[in-house]
């Protein structure tokens, strides 16, 4: 077969193959097969060396026409296949906006964290600073500096988790007050939230691990009336009503005089917190002069407030992570 016939057959074969190519990858393979360095067109043109000088220009012109024809068909088919690929991608990625979305449950603030946040908002608004401290404490910060020496009967009020090396798990956040006073000069107004630990039997109203919030104010001339006013304003904002409040005489080793505070909630008197004027011995322990400065402190359990505000009947519900319960709050 002459070179001219081979070129004509190659063009016919290539045009047909290009027209039926299914995708861009197949089209590229055809381009390499026909026009590549080792393609069929190059293979045919290797026979031009056997042609006479008169035949070579004729065959060369024909070969160029075949090459242009193949390239033109390749380019046209490339445009067609690219358009089809784009349309297929668009169809695959089209969203049906009428279909319902895939929803996931939103997280909520745990009732304990919600109460703590509400308390902090109130006291920060009253000018208090949030203070924190370690949960693993020494006997000095947890007891001695708070006017509770080794043989003091008040230690029996708090059954403590003792650790090796003279450490313990704090039984109250009052230790935060001592640490803060050691590093700051009066006037002081702090609010100290945190987790505390006591060896207590777990039941509907007690837990070995619970949360406290304590407040402390130290300044010149602070009186018990300042404490009462602060507590009443806090309870008014916390419970959202002007509830009847009563102060009952009590005892705490680090305050003198001391009192427990009740509110009339749903027709019953409910104890909500303990408070008192800071004992002079506590002020001396941190280097404050009790002849110049006075102060007051108060503390309460977060779980008690959460149970009252959310009408929870069992403290253990706050720790069980039962979504059926938590979703109601």
Domain assignment of residue 11, yes or no: yes
CATH number of the domain that residue 165 is part of: 3.30.930.10
Residue with tokens 């895939």: 102
Same domain, 179 and 247: yes
Same domain, 72 and 115: no
C-beta neighbour count of 307 within 10 angstroms: 20
Task: Report the helix count and the strand count for the chain, using DSSP H and E.
Answer: 11, 10
C-beta neighbour count of 132 within 10 angstroms: 13
Same domain, 263 and 141: yes
Domain assignment of residue 153, yes or no: yes
- CA–CA dist 255, 217 (Å, integer): 12
Same domain, 71 and 198: no
Residue-by-residue pLDDT tens, the chain, 329 positions: 688 888 888 889 989 998 998 888 888 898 888 888 888 888 888 777 777 888 888 888 888 888 899 899 989 999 999 998 888 888 888 777 787 878 887 778 888 999 999 999 999 999 999 999 999 999 899 999 999 877 776 666 668 888 988 899 999 999 999 999 999 999 999 999 999 998 888 888 788 899 999 999 999 999 999 999 999 999 999 887 778 899 999 999 899 999 999 998 878 898 999 999 999 999 999 999 999 999 999 999 999 888 888 888 888 888 888 878 877 77
Same domain, 205 and 174: yes
Same domain, 154 and 280: yes
Edge-to-edge strands of the sheet including 167-169?
Answer: 136-138, 167-169, 162-163
Domain assignment of residue 206, yes or no: yes
CB 37 within 8 A of CB 96: no
Choose the final residue of a domain: 67, 93, 119. 93
Choose the final residue of a domain: 93, 124, 157. 93
CB 325 within 8 A of CB 314: no
Number of compact structural domains in the chain: 2
Domain assignment of residue 102, yes or no: no
The pTM of the full predicted model, rounded to 2 decimals, is 0.66
Which domain, by its residues, includes 22? 3-93
- CA–CA dist 258, 275 (Å, integer): 6
Give the pairing type, strands 188-197 and 268-278. unpaired
Same domain, 272 and 125: yes
């Amino acid at each position: 077969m002459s070179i001219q016939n081979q070129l004509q057959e190659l063009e016919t074969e290539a045009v047909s193959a290009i027209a039926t190519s299914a995708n861009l990858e197949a089209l590229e393979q055809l381009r390499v097969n026909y026009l590549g360095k080792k393609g069929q067109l190059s293979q045919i043109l290797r026979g031009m060396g056997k042609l006479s000088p008169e035949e070579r220009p004729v065959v060369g012109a024909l070969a160029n026409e075949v090459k242009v024809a193949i390239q033109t068909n390749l380019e046209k088919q490339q445009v067609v296949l690219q358009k089809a690929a784009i349309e297929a991608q668009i169809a695959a990625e089209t969203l049906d906006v009428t279909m319902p979305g895939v929803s996931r449950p939103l997280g909520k603030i745990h009732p304990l964290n919600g109460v703590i946040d509400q308390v902090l908002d109130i006291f920060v608004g009253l000018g208090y600073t949030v203070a924190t401290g370690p949960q693993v404490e020494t006997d000095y910060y947890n007891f001695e500096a708070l006017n509770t020496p080794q043989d003091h009967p008040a230690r029996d009020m708090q059954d403590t988790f003792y650790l090796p090396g003279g450490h313990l798990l704090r039984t109250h956040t009052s230790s935060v007050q001592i640490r803060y006073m050691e590093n700051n000069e009066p006037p002081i107004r702090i609010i100290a939230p945190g987790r505390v630990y006591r060896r207590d039997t777990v039941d509907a109203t007690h837990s070995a691990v619970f949360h406290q919030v304590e407040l402390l104010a130290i300044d010149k001339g602070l009186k018990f009336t300042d404490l009462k006013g602060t507590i009443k304003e806090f309870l008014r904002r916390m419970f959202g009503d002007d509830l009847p409040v009563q102060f009952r005489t009590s005892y705490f080793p680090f305050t003198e005089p001391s009192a427990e505070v009740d509110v009339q909630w749903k027709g019953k008197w409910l104890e909500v917190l303990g408070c008192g004027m800071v004992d002079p011995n506590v002020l001396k322990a941190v280097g404050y002069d009790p002849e110049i400065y006075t102060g007051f402190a108060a503390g309460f359990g977060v779980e008690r407030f959460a149970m009252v505000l959310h009408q929870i009947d069992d403290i253990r519900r706050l720790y069980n992570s039962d979504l059926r319960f938590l979703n109601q709050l």
